[in-house]
Amino acid sequence: MGIATEWFRRTFHRMGSPRWFFAGSRGWMLGLYLVGGALIAIGSAWGLGFAPTDRLQGNSYRILYVHVPAAHLAEAVYVAIAIAGAVHLVWRMKMADLAIAAGAPVGMTLTAAALATGYIWGIPTWGTGWVWDARTTSMLVLLFLYFGLIALRQAVPRAERAALAVSVLAIVGVVNIPIIKYSVDWFTTLHQPASIRIGERPSIDPSMLWPLAVNALGYYLFLVGVVIAALRAKIIEREAKADWVRTWVQGR
Amino acid sequence: MMEWLAMGGHGVYVWSAYALSAAALVGVGVWPWLALRRARRRIAAALAPNQPVASGDGKRPEPGQGGVA
C-alpha cells in the first residue's frame, strides 16, 4: 500500500472518532473563522466601494458579491451532506451522520440568503422579486430539502432509524444539484446564465471578478469553520455519556 | 459619501442585501458556539445532581464539588 493511501486510510479512520476530531479541530475552526471572516470583509468592501459600476445593471449588480457565494456554498454544502449520507449508509460511520446534522442548518441558512438576496436583486433588475423559473424554483426545492433533513430527524423517534432515513433523503436529494446548475442552460429563465465557467474565459471583467473571487474563497473558509464548530457541538450533544466528554466538561 | 450610499438609486437594494447576508453569516456562525455552551451546561448540571441548578433567581450556586458553571 502506498504512503498516500496509508495516510488517507488512517486519517479516514481517525475522522470516524468523535473524540479525535473534537480534540484536533479547535485550532482549525478558529483559523477558518478568522481568515474566512477577514476575506469576506475585504471582498465585500472591494465589491461595494471599489469595483466599477455595471454598464447595464448600474450598482444593483453589486449584490452579486453576496448572492453568488451564498448560492454556490448552499449547493456545495448539500453535495458534502450527500457524500456524508453515502458514507454513513455504507460504513455506518457515526461522524458522517453528525456531519449531516451539523451541515443542514448551515446549508438551509445559505439557501435562504441566496433566495432573499436574489429576490432583492430581482426588483430593480427584472421588475419583480420572484419568478417561477427553473433556477429559482429548483433553489426553493433545495431549501425544502434542507428543511426536510432537519424535520425528518425530529420526526423519527429512534435516533439510529432517523439517521438512516436522513442519509437516504440526503442522497436522493442530490439529483436537484445538477438541475440547479444547468437550469439556466436547459430552460429559458429570467435568471442570467453563469458568467464564469470552467475552461472558458469569464464573461465578466477582471476588475469585477476579483472581489467575487475573494468573497467566494472567504465564504468557503468561513463556512467550513462553521460546519466544524457545529460538528463539535453535535459531538458533545451525542456523546454526553462518554467519559472523555464528562472529563472535558468538568475541566472547564 | 452620500452619493456612494445612494448607489445611483439602487442603495436600498444593495444595502439591504448586504445587511441580510451579514446577519445570516453572523447568525449561522454564532449558533454552533451557543449550542456547544448549552450542551456543556446541560451535561455539567446532570453531573452534579445534588447542586441547585441555576434557576434564574439571580443566585449562583455555591462554589463546591462539581458546581454548575
Write the pLDDT tens digit of every residue in A180-221: 999 988 888 889 988 888 888 888 888 999 999 999 999 999
Name the residue range of residue A85's domain.
Answer: 27-194+201-250
| Interface mutation target, options B3, B14, B47, chain A, most CBs of A under 10 Å | B14
Number of domains in chain B: 1
What ipTM goes with this model? Answer: 0.91
The answer for B64, left when phi > 0, alpha when psi is -120 to 50, beta otherwise, is beta
In A176-216, the DSSP E strands lie at: none
Q: Tell me how far apart the terminal alpha carbons of chain A are, to the nearest angstrom.
A: 42
Q: Calculate the average pLDDT of chain B.
A: 81
Q: For residue B20, give the nearest of A117, A226, A237 by CB distance.
A: A117
Assess if residue B68 is contained within a domain: no
Assess if residue A17 is contained within a domain: no
In sequence order, the 6+-apart residues with CB closer than 8 A to the CB of B46 are A240
CB pairs under 8 A between A and B: 108
Enter the C-alpha cell of residue B5. 450610499
Contact criterion met (CB below 8 Å) for A101 and A183: no
Name the residue range of residue B11's domain.
Answer: 2-47
| Interface mutation target, options B7, B20, B68, chain A, most CBs of A under 10 Å | B20
Assess if residue A21 is contained within a domain: no
Task: Quote the pTM value.
Answer: 0.89
Q: Is B16 on the interface with A (CB under 8 A)?
A: yes
Assess if residue B67 is contained within a domain: no
- Residue B13 and residue A102: Cβ atoms within 8 Å? no
- Residue B13 and residue A120: Cβ atoms within 8 Å? yes
| Cα radius of gyration (chain A) | 20
Assess if residue A187 is contained within a domain: yes
Amino acid type, A193: P
- The residues on A that touch B, with CB distances below 8 Å, are 33, 37, 40, 44, 48-49, 53, 58-60, 62-63, 66-67, 70, 102, 105-106, 109-110, 112-113, 116-117, 120-121, 123-124, 222-223, 225-226, 229-230, 232-234, 236-237, 240, 245-246, 249-250, 252
Number of domains in chain A: 1
Assess if residue B54 is contained within a domain: no
Assess if residue A41 is contained within a domain: yes
Enter the C-alpha cell of residue B26. 453572523
Residue A54 is given by DSSP the state: B
Amino acid type, A234: K
Tens digits of per-residue pLDDT, A74-127? 999 999 999 999 999 999 999 999 999 999 999 999 999 999 999 999 999 999
